[in-house]
Amino acid sequence: MEPNTPPPPDALSRRQVLGGLAAAGVAATVGAPAAANAGAAPASPPQNPVTQYPQPPFPQQQQPWPGLASRMTPRPDHGETSYKGSGRLAGRKALVTGGDSGIGRAAAIAFAREGADVAINYLPAEEPDAQEVVAVIRQAGRKAVAIPGDIRTEAFCQQLVDRAARELGGLDLLANVAGRQQQRQAIAELTSEDFDATLKTNAYALFWITKAALPHMGPGSTIINTTSEQGFNPDPWLLDYAPTKAFIANFTKALAKQVGKRGIRVNGVAPGPYWTALQVTGGTPQEKVPTFGQDTPYGRPGQPAEIAALYVHLASPESSFANGSIMGESAGKGLP
Ligand code: NAD
Ligand code: MG
């Protein structure tokens, strides 16, 4: 079905039934505030996820690492025009690493539209992307704090967290999204410098930032780590990266057991293939870029906007029983 074609009769009747229940006040009886039913959003027709976003083939393209989302073709959708909030994170104070582009940008935009003040970290070379995100956060009426710097040292990770907490007036939401992925076809090509840089970025920095953040956090605070389908089913050219994603999933579960009793929740998001700068800066073998994401049941990669709601869900008190959970979105590839 193409976008904007009328929904099938069964979908319509289901909505009518739900609408009828809401009108009858049934939702209010299970605890939803009455205001939630008043002025309900206009019906939106079902969208076909297969045709909702660009399909491969994409133009061949490469950028020097870390790259800019703004120079990609097609430009990734981070929800800039589409994500609508409903106050689910009102007043929260969030730090998002890798918040300039890709999945981190989508999470940062969604957090702001849900009412959170947001600090983002990124590399100095990514300032143009970061400034686009800052503008979107401010348009949402929220405070934006831009903190560039390289997370591969413990000293900077501590400064990052302290500055975010100081400028936001606290910290109760940490999304660890930054990551390094550089493909190498054979173990012989994987240098110790590569191995070190990947582990520093994906494993050590996650540990350092989380360790620095926890003293700022009280009950109800949430940490969301970004693992990957690669942590469960690795590609052969990601011999350093994929194990860091398995580490992140395991670290998430262990920390969740440690701090859950304090009312702090730690969960993980496991994306499948998403169209981001990571892929066109050496993360995916160059010859595979034009067909990136074609191996999903939709025949296309995800757009960052499609996974932002999962970060919102794990941050919000509505997911209060989720702790140590790894939740994925990979369009039916059979992974978390
Ligand atoms: P991206 O390139 O847009 O984001 C990665 C970000 O990491 C960069 O923007 C950069 O700011 C940050 N970063 C990297 N090294 C850094 C360093 N040394 N210091 C500070 N910041 C640094 O790509 P993305 O795909 O949105 O990646 C976000 C996360 O999602 C990563 O953890 C990645 O492993 C994970 N992921 C991505 C995919 C995918 O298909 N795109 C799939 C699974 C998991
Ligand atoms: Mg970036």
Give the integer Cα–Cα distance in Å for 165 and 95: 8
181-236 pLDDT, tens digit each? 999 999 999 999 999 999 999 999 999 999 999 999 999 999 999 999 999 999 99
Q: Which of 61, 103, 133 to mutate to test the pocket of ligand 1 (most atoms within 8 A of CB)?
A: 103
How far away, in angstroms, is 37 Cα from ligand 2 center? 39
How far away, in angstroms, is 178 Cα from ligand 2 center? 8
Q: Are 231 and 248 in contact (CB under 8 A)?
A: yes
Helix axis angle, 241-259 relative to 192-199, nearest 10°? Answer: 30
Name every residue whose Cβ is closer than 8 Å to that of residue 304 and which is 6 or more positions away in sequence: 76, 77, 78, 79, 102, 103, 105, 106, 274, 275, 276
Tokens matching residue 266: 């730690």
How far away, in angstroms, is 200 Cα from ligand 1 center? 13
160-174 pLDDT, tens digit each? 999 999 999 999 999
Could you give the 3-state DSSP secondary structure of residue 90? coil
CA-closest residue to ligand 1 atom 9: 98
Which one-letter amino acid corresponds to residue 279? Q
Give the integer Cα–Cα distance in Å for 107 and 97: 10
Positions marked active-site: 241
Model pTM score: 0.90
Cβ–ligand 1 contact at 104 (below 6 Å) = yes
Name every residue whose Cβ is closer than 8 Å to that of residue 276 and which is 6 or more positions away in sequence: 69, 76, 101, 102, 103, 304
How far away, in angstroms, is 68 Cα from ligand 2 center? 6
Instruction: Please tell me the number of Cα atoms within 13 Å of 122 on its side-chain side.
Output: 30
- Nearest ligand for residue 123 CA: 1
Cβ–ligand 1 contact at 228 (below 6 Å) = yes
CA-closest residue to ligand 1 atom 13: 178
35 class by beta-carbon count within 10 Å (0-12 exposed, 13-18 middle, 19+ buried): exposed
Give me the residues paired with residue 269 across strands: 226, 327
Cβ–ligand 1 contact at 110 (below 6 Å) = no
Each of the 336 residues of the chain gets a pLDDT tens digit; together they read: 333 333 333 333 333 333 333 333 333 333 333 344 445 667 889 999 999 999 999 999 999 999 999 999 999 999 999 999 999 999 999 999 999 999 999 999 999 999 999 999 999 999 999 999 999 999 999 999 999 999 999 999 999 999 999 999 999 999 999 999 999 999 999 999 999 999 999 999 999 999 999 999 999 999 999 999 999 999 999 999 999 999 999 999 999 999 999 999 999 999 999 999 999 999 999 999 999 999 999 999 999 999 999 999 999 999 999 999 999 999 999 888
